[in-house]
Amino acid sequence: MSEAVGLGGAGQQGSVAKDATIETFEEDVLAASATVPVIVDFWAEWCGPCKQLAPVLEKAVASANGKVKLVKIDIDKNQMLASQLRIQSIPTVYAFYQGRPVDGFQGAVPESEIKAFIDRLTSLGGDQAGAGDAGIEDYVNAGKAAFDEGDIAAAAQLFAQALQTEPGNLGAITGLARCHLSMGDVDKAKQTLDLAPPESQNDASFTSVKAAIELAGTEQSAAGDLTALQSASDAAPDDIAAHYALAEGLIAAGKFEGAIDALLAVIERDREWQDQAARKKLLTVFDALGGGHAATIRGRRRLSSILFS
């Protein structure tokens, strides 16, 4: 196996990357990933975006100070391996940990995305990769990081892998349920949350996801033209029904912070409207966001101010 710095044939001394082939893949990637995550960069000599990606990726790996490894595979020289791994376009980057693919991306993505990708992997590997419960929590933490960055598919895969090892892990269950919810599959989100052990169902993370699922399930029919709902609300400041309809539309669109404002507008005008429907809905939104969310904290303060003024 030879070392390689860039894309263009022979490697140079001191590179963080190694060239691998179908013959060395098991040793260089699968076996090596037992201790730290291994990033595999699939490239070709004729690929311009590959040459753009290479130095940025190598710089990020070098900055990780050994917490991840980088392997390069020339698809022209390893066509069978590329076919087996279903590489359909390049550059494609996969990350392996403990012998399994755990994350990846395609294309010459911005440096900020590469850094986030590396950060997820270093979190996944931890100081003692694969050591008992700590290893599972690394998967969960990496999944949370991926979710927060908007990479829902990678997050779902990480949470699912944690559940394979520890089926009752609440962080993995609630994380995977949120992923399904983000992808619009309310039924799968419910089924996933049902996996939670009974003793954990008073946990804040469980109640938060449960509230989000309830909102998604009951408000889907309210999804509509938010511009029209906003216009109707703006045109009639004292129309309580219009404010409430806007809140339902915002909830259906996942815009919880805007929904808080609309619900507070209802409560300001008539806190008893429809048997306190706005206050009840608002508390469910707070649960869905979580007690520590900045919007929840601000909303609770405003609600207290309204109720006790």
Say which of 39, 50, 181, 260 is annotated catalytic: 50
Name the CA radius of gyration of the chain, rounded: 24
Q: Give the H or E element holding residue 287.
A: helix 273-289
The answer to whether the peptide bond before residue 110 is cis (omega within 30 degrees of 0) is no
Cα–Cα nearest to 282, from 309, 262, 307, 306: 262
Q: What whole-number distance in Å separates Cα of residue 260 and Cα of residue 267?
A: 11
Q: 47 an active-site residue? A: yes
Residue 127 CB coordination number (10 Å): 9
Q: What whole-number distance in Å separates Cα of residue 167 and Cα of residue 290?
A: 24
Q: Give the H or E element holding residue 38.
A: strand 38-43
Query: Which residues lie across from 19 on neighbouring strands?
Result: 72
> In terms of DSSP bridges, do strands 17-19 and 3-4 run parallel, antiparallel, or are they unpaired?
antiparallel
Convert 216-247 to b/e letters by CB count within 10 Å (16 or more is b). Answer: beebeebeeeeeebbebbeeeeeebebbbbbb
Helix, coil or strand: residue 65: coil
Q: What whole-number distance in Å separates Cα of residue 42 and Cα of residue 69?
A: 14
Q: What whole-number distance in Å separates Cα of residue 74 and Cα of residue 81?
A: 10
Q: Residue 74: phi, psi to the nearest 5?
A: -80, 115
Q: What whole-number distance in Å separates Cα of residue 261 and Cα of residue 20?
A: 56
Q: 50 an active-site residue? A: yes
Say which of 32, 38, 39, 47 is annotated catalytic: 47
Tokens 């309830």, located at residue: 214
Q: What is the DSSP letter of 42?
A: E
- Active centre residues (catalytic): 47, 50
